[in-house]
Structure 1
Amino acid sequence: MNILLWVLQILLALHTIMGAIWKFTNPEQTVPSLQAIPHGVWLALSVVEFLCALGLILPAFMKRLTILTPIAALVIVAEMLLYIGLNLFSGNAVYSEIVYWLVVAVISAFIAYGRLVLKPL
């Protein structure tokens, strides 16, 4: 279980870093359903994503930071649920985006559950 959780954490961290970079290089208008997000919040979300990616990886090097993993994973879950909510209430919901964000949220929730309950670091 520990190996599975580490593989998922690394993949999620890579995904999250790519998302942070994408947010820095693309405006929120790129995704029509997310246009309600102000530009400053959009950029702040990229910083949050970068910090979450660090929180998923740092416990591998510093055991005393193990609490960061479930916190980072839960923040990613909250962000994905925010995107889903904005997409649904935007008036032009794109269900493929909802499914994508839901899959990321479920994987993140599994990591948080795994690190808190199943196999703590």
Structure 2
Amino acid sequence: MNIFLWILQILLALHTVMGAVWKFSHSAEQTMPSLKAIPSGVWWALAGVELLCALCLILPALYKPAAVLVPVAATCIAVIMLSFCAIHFLAGNTDLGSPIYWLVVAALCAFIAYARAVLQPLG
């Protein structure tokens, strides 16, 4: 189980870094028109938060006391994904493609957070 969780954490960290890089190079509206309600400063701040979360997902591999950060980082990423879903639907968009993707990522984050906090803690 520990190896499986590490694989998921690394994949989620890579996914999150790619999302952050995308945010630095594209506006919210370019990403998804329904996200145009997000100001550019907040969009860039989200990119910074995502980079920090990605680091927190893999930092325990190098520094064991940082293990407490894994569930926190996974929860933060899940909240961002759920926020995107809420903004998408509040904008009146009924397309389900992107929200399903965001919900899958949020569910993966919830699983990692629960597993590292309860089932297989690192520290």
Shorter-chain TM range is: over 0.9
Q: CA deviation at 1:112?
A: 0.2
Deviations 1:64-95 (A, max 9, x none): 11111000000001001100000111112321
Q: How far, CA to CA, are the matches of 2:94 and 2:44 in structure 1? A: 23
Q: How far, CA to CA, are the matches of 2:91 and 2:110 in structure 1? A: 25
Between the aligned residues of both structures, percent identity stands at: 56
Which 4+ stretches in 1 moved above 3 angstroms? none
Aligned with 2:38: secondary structure? coil
CA contact (8 A) 1:34 1:86 kept: yes
Q: How far, CA to CA, are the matches of 2:84 and 2:38 in structure 1? A: 10
Q: Which amino acid aligns with 1:111?
A: I
Equivalence for 1:28: 28
Q: Does residue 1:88 correspond to 2:81, yes or no?
A: no
TM-score, length-scaled by structure 1: 0.98
Aligned with 1:79: secondary structure? helix
* Count of paired positions: 121
Q: How far, CA to CA, are the matches of 1:94 and 1:50 in structure 2? A: 28
Which residues of structure 2 form unaligned runs of 5+?
Answer: none
Q: How far, CA to CA, are the matches of 1:71 and 1:94 in structure 2? A: 30
C-alpha RMSD of matched pairs (Å): 0.6
CA contact (8 A) 1:33 1:93 kept: no
How is 1:4-83 mapped onto 2 (pairs within 5 angstroms)? 4-30=4-30, 31-83=32-84
Aligned with 2:105: secondary structure? helix
Q: How far, CA to CA, are the matches of 1:14 and 1:35 in structure 2? A: 25
TM-score, length-scaled by structure 2: 0.97
Which residues of structure 1 form unaligned runs of 5+?
Answer: none
